[in-house]
Each structure stands twice: as structure tokens, then as C-alpha cells.
Amino acid sequence: MQKRFVSIWFRQLLADWQLIRRPELAVVPFVFTAPDHGRLLITAVSPLARDFGVELGMRSADAKAICPNLEVLDDKPGRPLKLLRGLGEWCVRYAPIVAIDQFAKDGLLLDVSGCAHLWGGEREYLKEIVSRLKSKGYTTRVAIADTAGAAWAVSRYGKITPLIPEGGHTEALLSLVPEALRLDEPVLAKLRKLGFHQIKSFIGMPRSVLRRRFGEHFLSQLAKALGTEEEVIQPLQVPIPFQERLPCLEPIKTRTGIEIAIARMLESLCKRLQAEGKGLRTGVLTGYRIDGKIVHISIGTSGASHSVSHLFKLFQLKIEQIRPALGIELFILDVPRVDEVEVPQESMWTAKPGLDNQSVIRLLDRVAGKVGFDVIHRYLPATRYWPERSLRSAVSVTEKPTTDWRMDKPRPTELLRRPDPIEVMALIPDHPPKFFIYKGVQHFVVKADGPERIEREWWLDKGEHRDYYQVEDEKGHRYWLFRSGHYGGEQKYQWFIHGFFA
């Protein structure tokens, strides 16, 4: 298919942006200035100021002499790029690949191959872009051509038509000035000196001559404009292979409407996913509101899934987070992460219960969607003795333990997150306590087991070992106590309660 590119040139990006923010400036000439070598140079000019003769690159003092009531505003470095990024993201509605013009940094380049017919032809397409940007407050010039270079040139220097038909870009370039080729100032000065005022006056010259006089870069820029050399443009958003778009005729602002939109997008998405044997792991629904804001909701699944009903339920939990305001005019459903889906074998009887049961996985997804992934824990045995570290969290639902759970030593049914200090009366050297006081209540120990010494993992943290005792008081409550450290050691010993046995 023939590639087509659109170039959008924002003639006065900063001035337009300022006018949108502060409409009262419409009657005041204003400029943006940035300090340069100890003086203030003008970086952007409002249309009113231009009428007075103020130009880019002038000193602010000179401009004030021409136009006494000139308003001078500070320019922030990087602001145009930031604005362009925002506009570029908005322009994704017109084409999936949108890039910032890296040469002049005052426009956008769109790869619109195969997009224009959706708006009823290229003429309507360009008209739509210009009028929508106009209604937002931006004055633009656009052009469409076979190469990004030609579109760039025509949008800025073209005088006849912005619509360059297929294969007509060479012809359109002929009558343009050399600046249209995106060249640096030294090369342009040389061209002017030699009397080349139009591209057609040097395009027919032998390449070796041109290379000798103007360098390799000049040739490459010419080739890019003519289409003999491929131009790589860097898209703002990397296009995602699994994406669904749903433009709406009327802005949508009700829950039912959003639900219908999600269901319709999921249906066609899941059909595609199913055909390729893939399943969704994360999904992002983006709504473009008519006031220019963008709203997002995202879902994640613990296992790849292409079931419409399941994914729909996950989105349903998040719909409340969407603020449609005046309405959403475009929905985009992105699937940044897909995985191979394991097609469960059709079971003739009911599926066996277990962790890999589909309904369990769906339950986990719903919980994760509503409360968050971090609330779900599953533990596997770790080959460590220190009680707090004898477990590790499982990474996935299907992960199996690599070692057996230890059963040779008693472990309490309830373990305190932090051991509580207790007061104890015990015989030395290693007798279990006679009694202990926990939370103000005295417990007389009737039966006891122990001690079980657990050494600290000295390569991780410093401290004393623990001597654990399993004790039972006169009422039958069973506790897990330990003494930290030796009785006569350098550190002070201390008794703690660490858990309760069933």
C-alpha cells in the first residue's frame, strides 16, 4: 500500500496556547522571550505583535521600541515539546503513528497510510484536522503527501494545494525554496549564495557534485523528501498490535453506554485473540472526552484470558472510576500485554476443584480488580529455620512448592507478627518458665516442651539466637515462648511470646 504522511505545522504554537489560557491577551500584542548571552531574545510572537513588525530572534528591548505596549512573557525551555506531545496524543484519533517533528519542533508528522478513507477521503480528512484544531484555538497548516519530507515541505512552503496526490510529490517540491528540504543554515546560505532559489534549479545536478559542495546530509535530506530513502519517524506511542477503537457519534456519558461500548470492543478483541491463541494479561481502556481530557481504567488478569464475560466483569468493577463529564467521544481498548493462552481441555464432567480451576482464577482476577493484587497471598515453604522467614510468597497461582513443609518441629497455629516481651520466672540454665505474665495476666506453666534453639541468620542480621519453649498453662492455653540470648551473655536476655498453639 502506498504510504501517506500528514504534516501539521503549528504556525504560532506558543502564542495560540497562551491565547487559549488567557483570552484577555487577544487584544494585546505579546511575545515570549528567553535569556541568551545576557539579553532577552524573542522566541515566539503573537499575531498582533507581528503586525507591528516584531519578529522572531529580535531583542526584547528593540521590540519594545517598535511596539510600546508589548507584553513580554517568559518562555520556559521545553514547553513547545510538551505542548506538542499533548497535541500528538490527541491526534492519535486520526492515525495510530504520530510523531513530533524533530527538525523544527513546531509540528507533528502522522503516518496516515490507510486512515483517510475512514473520514471520507483525504480532503475531508485534512479539513477535519484543521477545523478541529482551529476550534481548539490552534492555527495550523497541513499537507498530505507520499513522503514525510514532502508533506513537511508543502505544509510550510507550499502555495498551491496541501493535497499532493499519490506520486505527485516530486513535482510539488520543484517550485519550493531550498528551506523546504529541512537543511541547516550554513548549507542554506551556500545555496543562496550560488543562486539556487528553487529546488528545481539543483535537483537535476549529478549527485557527486552536490555531495562535494553540500555534503552527505544534504543528499540524504533530498532523498528523504523524494522518497528514495526511507525516513524513520519515532511514534509518540508505540502502536499496540491488539487495539480496538470505538468512535461514538454522540458523546457517551452514562454507565449503560460505557458498558455497551466495552462489551462491543471486547467482542471483536476476543475474537482476534482467540484466533491467534492469545489471552489478555493487562488491558487499558482509554476514553477521550469532548473537553479534551483523557480518562483511563486498566485491568489485569492472573492468567491469560480471552473470555468476553470474564474480562467484561473486570472492567465493570472499574467503571465507577470513569468520569465522563460532558461525554466520551472515542474509546480505545489497548492490550499492552498478551500471553499464550492454555486452552483448558473440555472436561466431560465438572472441572476438578483446585488452584488451576478456571473459576478460582477468575475469582482472583475479580478480587485483584476490586481490592488490588497486593492483598492476595499464597505461601510456599522456604528452606529456612527462622520462623518469620520459613515461608515465601508464591509468584503465580500455579507455582508448586519445591520442598516439603517441615513437620518435625512444632509450629504455632497463630504467630504474632512481632514477638511481645513478657515477664518470666524460670530456672537457669535452660528450664522452661515457671510462670509468665502476658498482658497483665499471670499464667502458671503446667507442661512444657523445649528448648528448640534457632540461630539467627547471621549473614542477614545481627542479634541473639532464640530458645523456643512450647508451654501449656493451667487452663489449657498453649503458647510459644522464647528467650532471646544467653543468661550470662554480653547482651541482656529477654523473654518473648511469639505465638499460640491450637
Angstrom CA distances, 47 to 13, 25, 444, stand at: 11, 11, 91
Identify the sign of the CA torsion 395, 396, 402, 403.
Answer: positive
Which of 321, 413 has the CB closer to another protein? 413
Give the amino acid at 364: L
Give the residue with the Cβ less far from another protein, 156 or 498.
498
| Residue 43 in grid coordinates | 522566541
With CB under 8 A as the contact rule, which of the stretches 121-129, 254-262, 340-348, 387-395 interacts with another protein? 387-395
What grid cell was written down for 98? 504520530
- Is 323 one of the binding residues for another protein (CB under 8 A)? no
Of 50, 213, 411, 465, the residue at the interface with another protein (CB under 8 A) is 411
| Smallest distance from another protein to CB 372, Å | 9
**Selected binder of another protein within 27, 375, 395, 427 (CB under 8 A):** 375
Task: Locate 306 and state its grid cell.
Answer: 480471552
Residue 494: how many other CB atoms lie within 10 Å: 14
Closer to another protein by CB, 5 or 479: give it. 479
Question: Cβ closer to another protein: 385 or 493?
Answer: 385
Is 419 an interacting residue with respect to another protein (CB under 8 A)? no
Backbone phi, psi, residue 291, to 5°: -90, 15
**Closer by beta carbon to another protein, 323 or else 389:** 389
The residue type found at 15 is A
In sequence order, what are the residues at sequence separation of 6 or more whose Cβ sits closer than 8 angstroms to the Cβ of residue 70?
29, 30, 31, 49, 52, 54, 63, 64
Residue where the block lists cell 473459576: 359
Q: Which stretch binds another protein (CB under 8 A): 37-45, 249-257, 375-383, 483-491?
A: 375-383
Alpha-carbon span 493 to 497, nearest angstrom: 14
The distance of closest approach from Cβ of residue 258 to another protein in the complex, given in angstroms and rounded to an integer, is 22
Least distance (Å) between residue 476 CB and another protein: 4
Instruction: Give the span between the Cα atoms of 177 and 186, in whole angstroms.
Output: 15
Cell numbers at 13, concatenated: 504554537
> Using an 8 Å Cβ cutoff, are 311 and 270 in contact?
yes
Please tell me the distance from the alpha carbon of residue 230 to that of residue 224, in angstroms, as a whole number: 6
> Minimum CB separation from another protein for residue 357, in Å?
3
Judged by CB under 8 A, how many residues of this single chain contact another protein? Answer: 56
* Residue choice 21, 37, 193, 377 for contact with another protein (CB under 8 A): 377
Q: What is the DSSP letter of 116?
A: G
Is residue 406 near another protein by the rule CB under 8 A? yes
Contact map string, positions 343 to 372, toward another protein, x by CB under 8 A: -------xxxxxx-xxxx-xxx-xx--xx-
Of 264, 391, 456, 464, the one binding another protein by CB under 8 A:
391
Grid coordinates representing 117 are 478513507
Say whether 82 sits in a helix, a strand or coil: helix
- Contact present, 330 and 255 (Cβ < 8 Å): no
Q: Which is nearer to another protein, 60 or 301 (CB)?
A: 301
Q: Does 319 participate in binding another protein (rule CB under 8 A)? A: no
Min. distance of Cβ 419 from another protein in angstroms? Answer: 13
Closest separation between CB of residue 302 and another protein, Å? 11
Among 342, 414, 455, 457, binds another protein (CB under 8 A): 414
The span from the first CA to the last CA of the chain, in angstroms, equals: 73
Phi, psi of 375 (to 5 degrees): -85, -15
Cα(148)–Cα(100) distance, rounded to whole angstroms?
12
Single out the residue of 291, 295, 327, 323 nearest to residue 20, CA to CA: 291
Stretch that binds another protein, among 66-74, 245-253, 280-288, 411-419 (CB under 8 A): 411-419
416 forms part of the interface with another protein (CB under 8 A) = yes
- Fill in the amino acid letter for 200: K
**Least distance from another protein to the Cβ atom of residue 429, Å:** 18
- For residue 380, the minimal CB distance to another protein (Å) is 5
- CA pair distance 43, 276, nearest whole angstrom: 52
CA 340 and chain centroid, separation: 23
268 part of the interface to another protein, by CB under 8 A: no
Looking at the Cβ atoms of 220 and 359, the one nearer to another protein is 359
Residues 427-466, one symbol each (x = binds another protein by CB under 8 A, - = not), give -------------------xxxx-----------------
Distance from C-alpha of 181 to C-alpha of 56, rounded to nearest angstrom: 21
Write out the binding residues for another protein, residues 475-494 only, by CB under 8 A. Answer: 475-478
Shortest Å distance, C-beta 311 to another protein: 16
Where do contacts with another protein occur on this chain (CB under 8 A)? 350-355, 357-360, 362-364, 366-367, 370-371, 375-381, 387, 390-391, 394, 400-401, 405-407, 410-417, 446-449, 470, 472, 474-478, 499-502
